[in-house]
Structure 1
Amino acid sequence: MLGHEGPGSLLSALKARGWCNSLVGGTRIGARGFGFFGVQVDLTEEGVAHIDDIIKLVFQYMEMLKVAGPQRWVWEEQRDLMALEFRYKDKLEPRNLEFPMEDVLCAYYLMTEWKPELIQELLSLLTPENVRVGIVAKCFAEKCTMTEPWYGTKYLQEDIEDSKIQEWKSVKPTPELHLPPPNEFIPTKLTLESGEDSTAHSVAPTVILDSPLMRLWFKKDSEFHLPKAVMTFDLVSPLAYMDPLSCNLTSVWVLLLRDSLQQFAYAAELAGLRWSIGNAKYGISVTIDGYDDKQSVLLDKIMDQMIGFTADPKRFHIMKENHIRAIKNFEAEQPYQHAVYQQALCLADVVWTRCQLLEAADLRKAIPTLPPRAQYPCR
């Protein structure tokens, strides 16, 4: 629940305040016999100034979970999703697993017993007295007066003030934070299509519709026999890469669109529906893959959001900041990334350099719009 990204989640509350870009919550193994439960928050520049408030919100969410108590419907939903993933899972590489032989394949997936007392026991351990807070940011460089002996990294270790511990212990639930609604994207139709396959004798996808507005390719799976599908829509517009400013605007627009969809689409990801929206030289690409039963619901929401999208000014400035930082941080990327970049500069007809993108990163306009007569080939 702490890592949830839907309505009423901790991430939703932090994003509304402009303090956070992303959040991950979950367990990690410390060594044999014990582990840690952690929440990692990717802060915005404004968020760095509200660290204590963010920690308070974390404990408010935990208090909400304790007051609500273990919810059987949440456990049953998770059980069904994990059983579905196990039943239709792709092949994996073998690895070392310390489980009895009969549980090796299913240990991470199949949940068989509802034990609310174990949930209560875990929640009782998530207290301010047991917390360790780590903060990483350049603005704290001058405060780091200690040096670790292996890599020479500067750091500072200090105890949390008792007053803060008491403040976090006394938090009360807030209506802003609540449990997510039931997942509407869990598939119920898992049977395979049995109709005539016009592409049975074709190795590659076949064009089944060709018009001035749309070109549609299709290929029915005849190998894996899973109730899954892949849809890719390429929306072609010359404005997407017309000049460095247009390239920047399109990139930030896509970041904003993905950000606005995350709260709704997170439930789809939990239900085995993967989605992505990206930009390229030709325009914008939308891909959805996974169980096909509820793909149309997700696609309708994405298209509705794209057509009527209005950017939140606060999120616009955050996404613009992230975009510019990514361009500047390219110097720290792996060598092969630099090789690909230099190859593109040498071989591609039109490529905007990082320097050109930075010079045009003022983004005086709001967001780009696709032209009314743009061609939208779909495949």
Structure 2
Amino acid sequence: MASFVLSIARPHLYHLSPRHKIPSLLCLPPLKPFSFPKFSPVLSHPKLVTHFVYHKTIAKSSSVGSRETDDPIPDESLLGEDSAAFQLSEQKLSSWVYFTVILGSVLLALNFLWINPSTGFGTAFVDSISNISGSPEVTMLVLMAIFATVHSGLASLRDQGEKLIGERAFRVLFAGISLPLAVSTVVYFINHRYDGTQLWQVQAVPGVHELVWFSSFVSFFFLYPSTFNLLEVAAVDKPKMHLWETGIMRITRHPQMVGQVIWCLAHSLWIGKTVAISASVGLIAHHLFGVWNGDRRLSIRYGKSFEVLKKRTSVIPFVAILDGRQKLPEDYYKEFLRLPYVAITVLTLGAYFAHPLMQSSSYNLHW
């Protein structure tokens, strides 16, 4: 519902294209950095490059995961992308100006076409769902089901849609349909979260507020791993399907699901009403489906590369670390000391203090 390099690395060989097989190279023992002869034919091969990244080679998404060969791929030759990497020097002012203009235009259009009761369709949409049974629990679940079906359905059609109309156009289509449905669902939840039957009341219990606040705060660090590049979200940069492996992805391969579960459990504990519980049930079910669907889509897109990444990550947090499949670097904490995580911290705190503003804005809609 609440739906964000510090050291010198060693050079490693990049992913080897299946069209340029060098079987003997895969049989060689690991070589130390810079141990190749000066005029080595291996280094002169056009498909081999070196790439300096924070402590490990991070394979670009456009280069990994070819499914054109059945040859085995050594685990150490493939790594996902370095998540949350952000270089201020690489940013273009014009891109962020463009992003601001797009964001403002989208919000104006959303308000005129959907939110504003006198001009938009949002009120009629929510009213039509509410009239199905008159039960706020049912309305909450139906709103969730509609959003989940559209959101996951369009995500599943991404490959075909991008081939048909292009990456940017499909992103605009995806956002244009999903965003109004998400707003309706969020606003209805805010307005009706205390409706229904009171199943428990623990708000006065010492420590519960602190537990709920901390859990909600932590959940946002899981919720936004795939939206670090806001320019892609707004289609200023060409949108990509990323194969992340660093940062939060070392803890769980599906951080958004984990973050949503944490958020739902915390808010359900705090509120204790049946409408809030129904919202949590719908959200968790949607994200559990997203675990299966996300793995399926990544497997189709990246093939063996994703299978390698899948082996050394886990859905359940920390399992891959505890059983030794995920090897954390000694300075793992540096993967979080990056501007996107700082932005998440600031925005999460801002969202907490902005709760009264969000509530009053939602109440004005009477959804």
Which category describes the TM-score, using the shorter chain as reference length? under 0.3
- Taking structure 2 as the reference length, the TM-score comes to 0.25
Larger radius of gyration: 1
Where is the helix percentage greater, Structure 1 or Structure 2?
Answer: 2
Higher RCO, 1 vs 2 (CA within 8 Å, ≥6 residues apart):
2
